[in-house]
């Protein structure tokens, strides 16, 4: 299966913003294993429904030019400010992931168009044609998430995969980005590791392992849930790919700490925050976004425990992931919690979106993208059973 409309060179194609032809729906998508859904634990049922509804919301938010409507404030029915390429890339990545999970052709087509549009915010390095340079502020993190989106896109052709490789080669040449004070360092490491799924090369694992050896002590001291979670995801992938024992040790150390800062499921003082994680401006700046990042890390960490038969940690990580999944899905607009809105408005704008916290009803595309990605990692981890 090939995404035949993803044709490069990019700039001219994106300027036209033509809609890709739909892909055929896969006969046996991963979502099929959750039928009948009612036999699975409640967090799993909520996660599957949350992914499907979240993907539909992202499709509805995608506009004719390929960009997503960045955010919305339902209380006053106004679009919110703050749009940027990084937030758009999180939406594109999540939609690509959900298309692979559900086998939905429309989601794959929209994700492909979004990826092409965002690639227009990059250019070939005039001094090194093996690299593609981001041309926007905060471009390194944007380049990492965009590469991840390409790697997740169903049926991405060789030319599009080559563009993801150029983005990773650019990141490879920026060692300062892996400084432990960079909160998005884990994103860059994850993008490099993700390329192994389509283009396995020894340098990827070596690059990530080298950063771990250099920065392990600093990550240990960071103690920021968002920062730590991104690092966990990258080093878990390294361990699963290369059986790197040091990577497993780092994952365990950081995930043990992460579980300790999670709000308890039995939280009588503030039950609406049960299962969530503390939020910081370093990450997405919202409990919805940051808890979804932590959920992603917990899913990765659980896979490491399964590889190594660490039963004690596996149970702890499973419970933490289930609680985080319930927190995230509780922030999703659905039929029951939107009945006070006008029917057309709630159907077109609200249902399937994730609001930013139990006390903040605003919608944002990157928060929805992170939530869908986190729920999908939970569903792929084995902790959902």
Where are any strands of DSSP class E within the chain? 71-73, 78-79, 122-125, 128-134, 355-357, 360-364
* Residue range 229-249, pLDDT digits in tens: 999 999 999 999 999 999 999
> Region 154-164: what's the mean pLDDT?
95
Quote the tokens at residue 170: 């650019």
pLDDT > 90: percent of the chain = 79
* Residue range 313-365, pLDDT digits in tens: 999 999 999 999 999 999 999 999 999 999 999 999 999 999 999 999 999 99
Question: Confidence class of residue 180 from pLDDT cuts 50, 70 and 90?
Answer: confident
User: 299: which residues sit within 8 A by CB, 6+ positions away?
Assistant: 321, 374, 377, 378, 380, 381, 383
> Region 56-72: what's the mean pLDDT?
97
Output the pLDDT for position 287: 87
Peptide bond into 9 cis (omega under 30): yes
Cα angle 305-262-193, degrees, rounded to a multiple of 5: 45
- Do 133 and 122 contact (CB within 8 A), yes or no? yes
Domain ranges of the chain: 52-75+176-381
Residue 13 has pLDDT above 70, yes or no: no
Backbone angles phi, psi at 68, to 5 degrees: -85, 145
Residue 177 has pLDDT above 80, yes or no: no
pTM for the full model?
Answer: 0.91
Mean pLDDT of the chain: 90
* 184 vs 119, higher pLDDT: 119
Question: Confidence class of residue 216 from pLDDT cuts 50, 70 and 90?
Answer: confident
Output the pLDDT for position 282: 60
- 337 burial via Cβ count (<10 Å: 0-12, 13-18, 19+): middle
For residue 98, what is the enclosing H or E element? Answer: helix 85-102
In whole angstroms, give the CA distance from residue 220 to residue 121: 35
User: 106: which residues sit within 8 A by CB, 6+ positions away?
Assistant: 22, 59
């Amino acid at each position: 299966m090939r995404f035949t409309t993803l044709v490069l060179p990019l700039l001219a194609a994106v300027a036209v913003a033509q809609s890709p032809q739909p892909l055929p729906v896969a006969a046996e998508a991963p979502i099929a294993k959750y039928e009948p859904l009612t036999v699975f634990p409640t967090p799993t049922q909520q996660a599957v429904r949350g992914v499907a509804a979240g993907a539909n919301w992202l499709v509805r938010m995608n506009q004719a030019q390929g960009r997503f409507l960045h955010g919305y404030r339902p209380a006053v029915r106004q679009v919110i400010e703050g749009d940027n390429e990084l937030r758009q890339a999180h939406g594109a990545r999540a939609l690509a992931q959900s298309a692979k999970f559900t086998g939905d052709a429309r989601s794959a087509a929209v994700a492909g168009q979004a990826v092409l549009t965002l690639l227009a915010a990059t250019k070939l390095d005039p001094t090194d044609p093996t690299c593609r340079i981001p041309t926007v502020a905060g471009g390194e993190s944007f380049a990492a998430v965009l590469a991840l989106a390409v790697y997740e896109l169903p049926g991405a052709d060789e030319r599009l995969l080559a563009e993801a490789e150029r983005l990773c080669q650019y990141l490879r040449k920026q060692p300062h980005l892996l400084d432990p004070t960079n909160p998005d360092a884990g994103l860059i490491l994850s993008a490099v590791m993700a390329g192994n799924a389509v283009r396995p090369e020894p340098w990827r694992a070596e690059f990530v392992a080298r950063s771990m050896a250099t920065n392990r002590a600093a990550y240990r001291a960071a103690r920021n849930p968002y920062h730590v979670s991104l690092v966990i995801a990258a080093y878990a992938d390294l361990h699963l790919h290369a059986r790197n024992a040091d990577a497993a040790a780092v994952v365990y150390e950081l995930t043990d700490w992460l579980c300790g800062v999670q709000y308890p499921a039995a939280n009588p003082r503030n039950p609406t925050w049960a299962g969530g994680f503390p939020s910081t401006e370093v990450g997405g700046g919202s409990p919805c976004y940051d808890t979804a990042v932590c959920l992603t890390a917990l899913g990765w960490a659980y896979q490491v425990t399964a590889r190594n038969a660490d039963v004690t940690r596996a149970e702890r990580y499973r419970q933490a992931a289930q609680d985080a999944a319930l927190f995230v899905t509780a922030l999703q607009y659905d039929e029951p919690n939107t009945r006070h809105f006008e029917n057309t408005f709630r159907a077109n704008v609200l249902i399937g979106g994730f609001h930013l916290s139990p006390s903040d009803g605003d919608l944002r595309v990157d928060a929805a993208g992170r939530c869908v990605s986190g729920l999908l990692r939970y569903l792929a981890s084995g902790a959902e059973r």
